[in-house]
Structure 1
Amino acid sequence: MTPPPPPTATAVPPATVAPSAVDRGVDRPAPARHPATGGALVLAGMLLVALNLRAAVTSLGALLDEVRTGLGLSGAMAGLVTTLPTIAFAGLGALTPWLVRRVAPARVLVVAMAALAAGQVLRAVTGSALVFVLTSALALAGIAVANILLPMLVKQHFPHRTGLVTGAYTMALTTGTTVAAASAVPIAHAFGSWRVGLGVWAGLAAVAVLPWVPLALRARAAARRATPTADAAPRLRIRPARTRLGWAMAVYFGAQSLSGYAIMGWLAQLFRDAGYRPEAAGLLLAGVTALGVPIALLMPALAGRMRTLRPLVLSLTAASTLAYLGLALSPHDGALLWVTLLALGQGAFPLILTTIGLRARTAEGTVALSAFAQSTGYVIAALGPLLVGVLYEATGGWTAPIGFLLAALTVQTGAGLAIARPRYVEDET
C-alpha cells in the first residue's frame, strides 16, 4: 500500500533538530531519515512492538474458561482480570508524556517490552490468583506505555507518511491480536496446559526489545553530546483536557475501547455458551481481528483523504449495531455474519488512532492528545469487561450485556460526529 501523504502531514514541515532534541523526545518533528541512518530500524521496532500490544489480552480471552477453572476465579474476579488492561492503560498512559520528556523513547520501549515479557512469563507459572493479577498488571504496564508512544513516533520520525506508517503498525497490532486469539487454545491443548498458551507470547515481547537496544544506546550517546543551548530549546505545552476536541477524542476512544475489550474478553465465552467447542469459539474471536487486518491497513488512508469523517463514523456504528443485535438473537446460526460485522465495527480503533495524528499539528501535540485520549478513554473503557462480566453472572445470559454495549455505542457515535470535522488541538489550547 502506497497511498499519498495525508493532507494533515503537510502541517508538520521537516525541521533541523539537534540530536539531543530528537533522541530525548523534544516534541518537534525529526527530519526524514534515510534507512541507513535509523529510519528502517525505528519502523521495524515499531512494528514489532505493535505485534505485542494485544496478544497478552486476546490470548487470555481465548483461555478465560481454563484460567477461571485453574485458578478458581469467580465470574466477578474474571471480570476484574479482563478489566485490567483498561486500568493499566489509563493509569500509566497518563504518565507517558512526562516520562518521554525525561527519558529517550527508545530506552522507555526497551524497559516496556522487557516488563511485558517478564509479566507474561510470571503469570503463566503462578498458582495464586493474586499473583496472576499482579503479574498481568506488570505485563500490561509495558503495553500501556507503548500505546502512547507509537503515534508520537509516527509524527516524529515519519511526518510525511503518517497514514502509511499508522496503517502499517495498526495492521501489525491487529495481526498480533488475531494470531494470539486463534492459536492460544490449540497451543494450550498441544502442551496440555493453559499456562503454555498464555506464556508463549513472552518470546514475541523479548524479540521486540532487540531493535530498541541500539536505538537506546544511540539516544544515550546523543544525550551526552547535547549542548545546554539545545536542551534549553523552548517547548509548547499542549493541554487537551482544556479543549472540547480533547474530550471528544477521549470519549470516542473510551467508548470504542469499552466494546473492544468486552469483545476480546467475553466473545469466545458467548460462542461457547451458544454451543461452539472451545477451539471453534477461539477461532471466531480470532476472526474478528483477522478480518480487521485489511481494515486496519485501509482506514488511515481513507481517513486521511476525507475532509469529514462523518461517513466513516456512521458506517462503523451501523455495522456494530447489526452485529450486536445478531449476537443477541441468533448467536450460533449467524456467527460468521456477526463476526464480519463486528470486525467492520471495530474499525473504530484504527480510525481513532489515525485521527489522533490528524487532529494535531506537531509531535508535542500528538503525544499530548494521544496520552489524554487514551488514558481518559481507558478509564471509560474499564467499565466494559467488568460490567459485562457482572451482568452475565447476574442474568445468566447475554441479552443484558449486549444491551449495555448498544448503549455505549450510542455515546461513541455522538463523540465520533464531534471529532469528524477537521481541526487541531493546538488551535484550541
Structure 2
Amino acid sequence: MNSKKGAAIAVTLGTIAATLYPVTPANADPARDAQWQVSFLKLTQAHQITKGGGVTIAVVDTGVSPHRDLTKNLKEGADTIRGGDGIGQKDENGHGTQMAGLIAGHGHNSDDGILGIAPNASLFPIKAANAEGGGSGLEPGIKRAAEVGADVINVSAGRANSRAMNDAIAATVLADSVVVAAAGNKSDTLRLGYPAAMPEVLAVGAIDEKGNLADFSVTDPKVGICAPGVNVATTTLNNGYGKGSGTSEATAIVSGAAALVRAKFPDLSAAEVIHRLTATADDNGPPGRDDQCGFGVLNVVKALTAEVPPLEGGTAATASAQPSVAAPSVGGSAVPADPENKADPENKAEESNLPVIAGVAGGIAVLGVLLAFLVRRRRKPTA
C-alpha cells in the first residue's frame, strides 16, 4: 500500500451467513433466551429504576437497519460518508445494527426479541462506512454526533490518531457527550487505538459469561472497564438474530449503561457519568485497577444506586496519564475492533439456534467483513 496516498486502518466487523443456524420456532424465544448478559447484568432490576427514556445515543458505525426490535426508538440519523444519501437507517454490513440491538433493543410481543441495556433510549444512527469499507466518515461521524447533542456516543471501532480525531473528540467535550469506544482485539501488532486511547473517552474491554477476560481483549493502562463481549446475542440484518464476540459488543453494552446513568442522574457531566460507571465496577482480575479491565466489570445496578463521591478535578475519564486532545499524534497501528477470533467451544451456536456473528464456533467458519476507515498519513508508518 502506498503510504503517500493513505493507509487503510482496518476494523474487522462481524457479519453472518444467513443460512447458518437460522432461528427456528420454539415455545420460548431463542433470541431473548440467548442473552446471557441480561441476567449477568441484572437488567430486570436495573429497568425497574430506569430504561433510559429521554436519552439519545449516537451509534457511529455502518448505519442501523430498521429491525423490528429497534424501530420504536430509531431516529433517521445521518450519513457522513462522502457521496452518501444523508440517512443513517441503512446498513449493508450489519455491524451497526448489531451494536444498536445491544444498546437499545426493545424486543417485540412483550417478551420476544432482543432486550437492550437502555430499551427506551433513542438511537441516532450515523453511517460512517459502507459495506465495502469505503469512506472516511468516522471522525466526521463522531463530530456530527456531538453537533446533534447526543448524550452518549458509541464508537465500536478504532484507528490511528489524527488531527481530525482530536478535533472530533474536542467537539464531544464541548457538547458534554459521553464517548464510549472499543479497546480493540489482540493481533500480532495491535495496541490500543483511537478514540479509545484518549483521556476523555471510556475504553472498554470484554469478558465472557464466567466473568473472565476474553482472550481477544486488548490489555492496556487506558482500559477503563469491561463488559460482556463473548457470544452475546443481538439483532442482525433482515430482522434476524445472531451471536457476536468482540470488544465492539462490550462497548455497546457500556454505552447502554451510560444512557441509563444519564437518565437517572440528568445533572451529571459526561466525565461524572464515566466516573460513576468505573467507580461502581466490580473488581476483576488482579486486585485494584489493572490493565485488563481497568476499574473492573460493569455493574449496572450499582451504577444506578450507589453513593459515589464526586470526581476529583471533574475531567478525567481514566486514572492514567494520557495525551491531551490538543496535542495530536498522527500515526500508529491498525486497530481491529472485532477481528476474527475463536469463540469458546463450549458456547456453540446450536445451543440457542442463533447464528454466530463473528469468529469460528463449533468448527463452522463464519464470514467476516473488513471495514476500512481510510486515514491520510502525514508520515510513513514506523516499522
TM-score range (shorter-chain normalised) is under 0.3
In terms of fraction of residues, the more strand-rich structure is: 2
Rg (Cα) greater in structure? 1
In terms of fraction of residues, the more helix-rich structure is: 1
TM-score (norm 1): 0.25
